[in-house]
A and B are shown apart, each in its own frame.
Chain A
Amino acid sequence: MLRIDYLQVPGLPALSFEVAAHECLAVEGPSGSGKTRLLRAIADLDPAPGYIHLEGLERGEVPGPEWRRRVRYASAEPAWWSAIVREHFAATAKLDRLLSALALPPAILDRPVAELSTGERQRLGLVRAIADEPRVLLLDEPTSALDAQSAALAEELIKFQMLAGRTLILVSHDPAQIGRLAHARLLLADSPARKPESAAA
């Protein structure tokens, strides 16, 4: 259970909502309405006053890196800090299974990041975010660069994360995808001045 109380993200009114384990909350709103800022605040990547509890533990009670090992933000355009794909992953037996779940060959690990397509990078970013089994996944448009077939595989993997007991918050511009994955919705208004209808789970 992820519970958020009076979280003050810059440019947004204070937000309160909760998302249960096994469930997915979709965050909707036009571009610039603060969806990414909200996810980044929950992952404690940007300062935001308020309370975030994960299974009874408040964000400030653990060091930042420890919180982010549990509450994982995955960007729509994952960034890479080394030339070769493998250097971004801890070697685990699960890695090959995650790759094959997204139709990525194991040999992709030894390729240079610069040679990969946007879609391959996005799928690898999803694998990287999931590989060490965080409790909460904050997915920022996880299938925006994928074709229909890859997107369907990615959705299966995301669903499996819910089955495994993880809590999900999903930003997506695809209403059909939100319909397939989300149990509840949070609408962010386009103008920061206007009050949002904060839907509770």
Chain B
Amino acid sequence: MSAIDLSALDLALAALLLLINGAISLTFGLRLEPRVALAAVRMTVQLAAIAFILKFVFAQTSPLWTLVVALAMVLVAGYELMRRQGRRFSGWWAYGLGNATLLLVGGLATLYAAAGLIGPQPWYAPRYVLPILAMVLAATLTSVSLALQTLTEGAEQEREAIEARIALGATRFGAFSPLVRRALGAAITPLLNTMSLAGMVTLPGLMTGQILAGADPVEAAKYQIVIMLVLSGASGLGALIAAFGGVLLLTDSRHRLRLDCLAPARA
């Protein structure tokens, strides 16, 4: 079994549906027509580009190309992570902590899923490694972003309470413990919700894709379960590293609270 190829005509017919959005924008005076067109063009160009890149990488026998694409994905995810933060760390740490976390967690989780669980031949086959890494990065990005957001905003809002504990002789992790707990809870919750609702409201993307490609639904579900569990581990580990790394950045070696490590708030 394999997927049914789509013709150029199929794509063109699908594009007709954009007219619905265009018509809505015109009728209600939303002035979104240029954005509708731009978004559709961006989507098409980006997906086509990544398709050709993947096709090229899949055709190579050297794992070096896989590594190059994987690192590029981590960097893009790290940039997106930095962009999402309301309060960033100043200097290199704005990128550093997020990128280091994504690299470590993305690497570990992908290795575990590809080499340990699924086991393609060879284990670094880009057809398996790169899509898994993409899913791991997306999930970790969300959890790390929420953990850092909760931590930095909380540190500013609860500055007096944190410093009160520090003044009473608490270590930095002691003083931050309520905030770290809150950050970890906020980071882990979304994936717990996704797991609880998986298959109830929507079919997860991976499973849908495999079914459309002709796979047995039970096999597709097994893949989805494995991936979802890997994602839950990855996002938890990512949140943990980010939260503890965040506390280290927000304090100094004398266990003082150093909010001056945060870049000034954006207007």
Contacts and interface: CB of A to CB of B under 8 A. Distances in A.
Interface of A: 43-47, 63-66, 68-69, 72-75, 77-82, 128-129, 132
B256 interface: yes
Interface in B129-179: 158, 160-171, 174, 178
B167 A65 contact: no
B165 A47 contact: no
Contact of B164 (A46, A69, A81): A81
Given A44-B256, A47-B256, A63-B255, A80 B161 contact: yes
A45 B169 CA distance: 10
**Most B C-beta atoms less than 10 A away, residue of A65, A66, A82:** A65
A145 to B, nearest CB: 16
Contacts of B158: 81
Contacts, number: 59
Contacts of A65: 166, 169-171, 174, 255
A4 to B, nearest CB: 17
B266 interface: no
B164 A75 contact: yes
A68 B163 contact: no
B169 A132 contact: yes
B165 A81 contact: yes
A142 to B, nearest CB: 14
A127 to B, nearest CB: 12
Contacts of B254: 44, 47, 63-64
A73 B167 contact: yes
Contact of B167 (A45, A47, A82): A45
Given A44-B254, A47-B256, A68 B160 contact: no
Contact of A45 (B161, B166, B174, B178): B166
**Most B C-beta atoms less than 10 A away, residue of A66, A80, A81:** A81
Given A79-B163, A81-B178, A45 B168 contact: no
Contacts of A75: 160, 164, 167
A129 B255 CA distance: 18
11 contacts: A64-B253, A64-B254, A65-B255, A66-B169, A68-B169, A72-B167, A72-B169, A74-B167, A79-B164, A81-B158, A81-B161
Contacts of B257: 45
Contacts of B166: 45, 64-65, 68
Nearest to A82: B178
A40 to B, nearest CB: 8
A47 B259 CA distance: 12
Nearest to B164: A79
Contacts of B171: 65
A132 B166 CA distance: 14
Contact of A68 (B161, B162, B168, B253): B168
Nearest to B169: A69
Interface in B207-265: 252-257
